[in-house]
Amino acid sequence: MISTTENDRNLVEAAFYEKPFSFSYSSLNVLLTAPRAFYKEYVLGQKDDEFKKYLLEGSLIHYLVLENEGFDNKFIVAGDSLPSDSTIDVIKHIYNLCVEGGDMTLGLIDFKQEILDYLVQINLHQSLKDTKDGLGDDKRIAKIIDTKSEEYFEFLKKKENRVIIDSATLDAAAKRAEIVKANSEMRNLLGMDIVPDGRTFGVYNELPIEITAKNTGLPFGFKGTLDNMVIDVKNKLVRINDFKTTSKDLTGFKDSIDFWNYWLQAAMYRRLVTHFLKGIINDEWTIEFRFLVFDKYDQLYSFEVTPETMTEWLSQMEQVITEARYHYETHEYSLPYDFAMGNVKL
């Protein structure tokens, strides 16, 4: 007999497949590396709505430089610093209980037993559970509930669809945004001093593009939101710019391209732009892609992707599409493609 949970899961999965899915870079990257996580987050809809940390600061810089008016609709600043990741996990669990219960007036202190139960579930602070003084529960609760966590809990309640950041993260991004604004090369690349007239120049920030399954010839589509795109009609040039940060120095960014699959994002954006401008530009035009990268020393550099490299990345994307199609059509999400095919040997 199928359990209610399994029945519910099957219904949710069926709903996911009712209409073709459009992959973003983020969702496709998750599918490539961790299909089980993709199944949970996208098929079942159990997705953590928090921004991926490795994308956060680049997005912050983008908004502070190019979309300042939209900043408050995207982010909410919560104090000088945020609780630890493990504490945030507990707070989010309690927040979800509040949502399910329909009572958003309760505070963390009203969920002591639920917090203790969840700490056992995730094996957090369990060394404090059995203490000789009999205060183990109080000590575990004290590890979770403090002024910082209570503030974060309240921000969760009012954040809506915004991303919670701390003021330290904002200050670091704001410093880097000023560096961009003061850099004449970057201003030129981003078209910041251009007055778009719709005929000779076009500057597009936070531009969403989607190719539906109907237009890809595949069972799924693709979508993405470009940080910045500049169209120079006179020189027949389209430039796609994407902000990135790295915890290494600039020489280490090539490693980040492979580790985070940034090459896939570049290839996908190139594919999206080619579709978006179909019938407007022709083979005489150049589509250029650049990563605008800050390193750990606040050094800023524009990495231009050569045509040869982009051709290679577009070719690699075809293999990614093959892998994605396998998972999507077979509904098989237990292992990454090469593991599922038995191709991985030691």
Rg (CA), the chain: 23
Amino acid at 109: I
Does residue 1 register a pLDDT over 50? no
Q: What's the pLDDT at 9?
A: 84
Q: CA–CA separation, 250 vs 303, rounded Å?
A: 10
- Pick 1-74+169-330's CATH classification: 1.10.1740.10, 3.90.320.10, 3.40.190.10, 1.10.1060.10: 3.90.320.10
Does residue 295 register a pLDDT over 90? yes
Q: What's the pLDDT at 50?
A: 57
Cite the DSSP H helix spans in the chain. 4-16, 25-33, 35-38, 53-66, 71-74, 85-101, 112-121, 136-144, 147-158, 167-181, 184-190, 213-216, 253-259, 262-276, 307-330, 337-340
Domain ranges of the chain: 1-74+169-330, 82-165
SS3 category, 213: helix
Going by their DSSP bridges, the two strands 237-245 and 286-294 should be labelled as parallel
Average pLDDT for 65-87? 87
Average pLDDT for 330-344? 96
Q: What's the pLDDT at 80?
A: 78
281 secondary structure, DSSP code: B
**pLDDT above 70: percentage of residues in the chain:** 95
Amino acid at 4: T
Q: What's the pLDDT at 171?
A: 93
**Range among 34-48, 98-112, 197-211, 257-271 with highest mean pLDDT value:** 257-271
Residue in the block written with tokens 């593009």: 209
**pLDDT above 90: percentage of residues in the chain:** 71
Q: What is the pTM of this model?
A: 0.84
Q: What's the pLDDT at 175?
A: 96
Closest to 63 in 3D by CA, of 52, 49, 50, 76? 76
Average pLDDT for 57-78? 88
Q: What's the pLDDT at 53?
A: 65
SS3 category, 303: strand
Does residue 49 register a pLDDT over 80? no
Q: What's the pLDDT at 199?
A: 78
| Tens digit of each residue's pLDDT (9 = 90 or more) over 163-189 | 888 888 899 999 999 999 999 999 999
Does residue 52 register a pLDDT over 70? no
Q: What's the pLDDT at 45?
A: 86
Task: Name the more confident of 70 and 133.
Answer: 70
Q: What's the pLDDT at 5?
A: 67
Q: What's the pLDDT at 3?
A: 40
279: confidence class by pLDDT, cuts 50, 70, 90: very high
310: confidence class by pLDDT, cuts 50, 70, 90: very high
Q: What's the pLDDT at 135?
A: 82
Phi and psi dihedrals of 165, rounded to 5? Answer: -130, 165
| Contact criterion met (CB below 8 Å) for 28 and 264 | yes
45-49, 110-114, 217-221: range with lowest mean pLDDT = 45-49
Q: What's the pLDDT at 312?
A: 98
Whole-number mean pLDDT of the chain? 91
| Tens digit of each residue's pLDDT (9 = 90 or more) over 81-117 | 889 989 999 999 999 898 888 888 999 999 999 999 9
Amino acid at 238: V
Q: What's the pLDDT at 4?
A: 45
Does residue 235 register a pLDDT over 90? yes
